[in-house]
Amino acid sequence: MPKISIITPAYNCEKYLEEAVNSVLAQTWEDWELLIIDDCSKDKTYFCMQRLAKKDKRIRIFQNPQNSGAAATRNYGIRQAEGEWVAFLDSDDLWREDKLEKQMKVLQKQPDAAFLFAGSAFIEDDGMTIAHVLHVPEKIGRRKLLGQNVISCSSVLIRRELMLKFPMPEEDGIHEDFATWLAILEKVPCAYGVDEPLLIYRRALASKSGQKGKSAHMNWQTYIKVGVPTSQRIFYMASYTFHGLSKYSMLWWRSYRLMMRKERFKKLFLMVMTAILLASWTYVFAHVWFQNYNFKRIIGRRYSFWGYVALFVLYAALNLLIGKTFSAFRVIHQQYMEVILSHAYTVILVNAATYIELALIGRWKFMMHATPMFWVTGINFTIGLWWSVIVRWLYANIYPAHEVLLIYDKQNTAPLEQELNKQGERYHLKTKLSLKEGREALKREILKHESVMLGDMPEEERSFYIRYCYEQKKRCYCQTSMSDILLMSSEKISLSDMTLQLFRNCGLTVEQRVAKRVFDILFSVIVLVVLSWLYLLIALYIKIVDGGSIFTKRECLTRNGEHFQQLKFRTIKIGKTIEDPAPWIRGGYFLMASHLDELPQFFNVLRGDMAVVGPYPELVESAERITDRLPEFSYRLAVKAGLTGYAKVHGKYSSSKKNQLKMDFYYIQNYSFAMDLSVIAATLKVLLEPSGKKKCKNG
């Protein structure tokens, strides 16, 4: 005869039942039987019960002849039970693996105990953990229980003889378990609690306890059922309300935070915060406009109401367009230098363009009325920085790091884990499981996590888990392949009711090449003119401290595999290589680390050998070795090599060649002028960082 009989009523619970039963099977206390009673479910609950019963001979299943409700089903289970003790587990709740063992240990200290219960942790309906624990007292009597019901039905362990003597009331409109505990505590001095979250309670809003108004009414009816006088009912109801507010307000808040962490609310949060920033910037401009420009003698005319609206909407739209180009609104996970630069670019370009527009309309001398716009630029830059600080703080408190489940096959996951640890504010690697665990086990784990990360695995497995995560509304990260990048950049073609994806390997269009070349020439001329003094200074310095040649030349590859001589300022002594001890000329390491040695490449850009933005120029001999290992590496030769590039600013020099190839290929397939501008903006941030890990240094 088993020591403990576990009663589980089951009604339309095929979604949760297996998880509940698995929590019983995992118990460290093994002397139990599990009675699952189907209360005429309309789904596949009973078929699920039959399958679970085959797992363990201690599982017994029953079926009610008609729908009877939870109380009658539990009472039926108690009558069928064979154990000395009875435990209850609702079909959507879970137990911690040591639940029964820890409760039975209480009997060693309290051998006369007949009624035990425990604390609770909480999960959402989809299995997400709510960071809240319901603590319980060491023991509780009937009087205290009247003011606050701290005994969750699924946490109870009670002698079977008591439940046979005090069966649960089989009527609607009351809390049948609460009424039972009150009736039992009239005969038993107290119930003993284990103040640990041994029960994992699923907080489903559709449940009776999830509807607080209805729950309060049922609580009142329960007081009537157990014979509490009217005056005492009012007192205990007030106590119930007070404790409910104090105990569950934090649960509600943490549940609300968890809900807000879901993707749709995260995007809403960022959209609202972006709208606040745009409104603030526009308000500053509007204030300056009315104070300094809205005069006929200055602007040449007076605007109507809709003229003002058009002006301010245009200003906000310009901020939005340029801000998106320079990632001014994506401040959550940027470095502080990136935040400062992105806002500086945005406010300077927006207000410069706006001032030029106003000057053309007012037809004044160019700098005559520039001072107010300088104030707008400075104030908006300050607002942008404060906004970034506030948004990052709010985001960190509302949206902590994603709890990630990593699913892998055979590859070494150490590099990926290392990168996740570096991104601790974004990701928390909670669980790591192999594909060998099987689909059912992995599906259960996916439901418990916010995000899923898929390593390299067979295409069939990857497609399965991507679809499952999509169905369950879980974030799913996949390591990209070349095929993924092609899909991202493919063009949709419709043939009647059929949809095709068009893949092309033609590099940039003619229009894009022309526009890119014009920009390269203009940008290079500006840099060479503005920094001509610096070129001269560095050249004189190298000649004075080391003598010999000022430049080094490396034979590299550019578009279509053509060779060219890449220019750099010499930073290494003549006849030395970077592998030699003490190879640098005096100050050479500084020139390399600050990227000043790369300034002569603007001459390569002017000559047409390179572009301002493009893949990193590989040495001819290095490219041949890489292509032998990665044949796709030649794909990056569809465009000119670049002084800076997408791979350079995102992966820098420490990226593997395979990852560099993926980033370069992404840049080529998704090229736009806006992407070039964003890469140039990000490059300024990289220029301020040391780069002691360059892979292809000058000699």
| pLDDT above 80 for 555 | yes
Q: What angle do CA 480, 486, 489 make, to 5 degrees?
A: 110
Q: Average pLDDT in the 338-350 region?
A: 88
| pLDDT above 80 for 265 | no
CA-CA-CA-CA dihedral for 218, 224, 226, 228, to nearest 10:
120
Beta bridge partners of 568: 552
Lowest mean pLDDT among 389-393, 645-649, 660-664, 683-687: 683-687
Computed over every residue of the chain, the mean pLDDT equals: 84
Query: Could you report the per-residue pLDDT of 371-425, keeping only the tens digit for each?
Result: 999 999 999 999 999 999 999 888 877 776 777 899 988 877 787 787 777 777 6
Could you give the CA distance from residue 240 to residue 217 in angstroms, rounded to a whole number? 11
User: What is the secondary structure of 91-157 as a DSSP string?
Assistant: TT-EE-TTHHHHHHHHHHH-TT--EEEEEEEEEETTSPEEEEEE---SEE-HHHHHH-----GGG-E
Per-residue confidence (pLDDT) for residue 194, from 0 to 100 = 92
| pLDDT above 80 for 694 | no
Strand ranges for 265-423 from DSSP E:
402-408
Could you give the CA distance from residue 640 to residue 126 in angstroms, rounded to a whole number? 50
Per-residue confidence (pLDDT) for residue 377, from 0 to 100 = 95
- Tell me the one-letter amino acid at 293: Y
Per-residue confidence (pLDDT) for residue 363, from 0 to 100 = 74
Q: Which residue has the higher pLDDT, 395 or 248?
A: 395
Query: Could you report the per-residue pLDDT of 445-461, keeping only the tens digit for each?
Result: 888 787 899 988 888 89
Query: Could you report the per-residue pLDDT of 142-175, keeping only the tens digit for each?
Result: 888 888 888 999 999 999 999 999 999 988 888 8
- Tell me the one-letter amino acid at 518: V
Per-residue confidence (pLDDT) for residue 693, from 0 to 100 = 41
| pLDDT above 90 for 342 | no
Per-residue confidence (pLDDT) for residue 113, from 0 to 100 = 92
Query: For residue 523, what pLDDT band results from cuts at 50, 70 and 90?
Result: very high
Other Cβ atoms less than 10 A from the Cβ of 660: the count is 26
Greatest Cα pair distance in the chain: 104
Per-residue confidence (pLDDT) for residue 233, from 0 to 100 = 82
Lowest mean pLDDT among 213-217, 273-277, 463-467, 573-577: 213-217
Per-residue confidence (pLDDT) for residue 385, from 0 to 100 = 94
Q: Which residue has the higher pLDDT, 45 or 203?
A: 45
Judging by DSSP bridges, how do beta strands 427-434 and 402-408 pair with one another?
A: parallel
Q: Average pLDDT in the 208-215 region?
A: 58
User: What is the secondary structure of 170-232 as a DSSP string?
Assistant: --SSS-HHHHHHHHHTTTSS-EEEEEEEEEEEEE-TTSTTT-HHHHHHHHHHHHHHTT--HHH
Cα of 570 vs its chain's centroid, Å: 45
Query: For residue 134, what pLDDT band results from cuts at 50, 70 and 90?
Result: confident
Strand ranges for 592-692 from DSSP E:
611-613, 642-644
Query: For residue 8, what pLDDT band results from cuts at 50, 70 and 90?
Result: very high
Coil vs helix vs strand at 613: strand
Could you give the CA distance from residue 539 to residue 550 in angstroms, rounded to a whole number? 6
Contacts of 508 (CB under 8 A, 6+ apart): 516, 638, 639, 668, 671
Residue 323's closest CA among 258, 371, 383?
383
pTM over 0.75: no
| pLDDT above 70 for 211 | no
Lowest mean pLDDT among 72-81, 560-569, 584-593: 584-593
Could you give the CA distance from residue 171 to residue 71 in angstroms, rounded to a whole number? 8
Query: For residue 698, what pLDDT band results from cuts at 50, 70 and 90?
Result: very low
Query: For residue 89, what pLDDT band results from cuts at 50, 70 and 90?
Result: very high
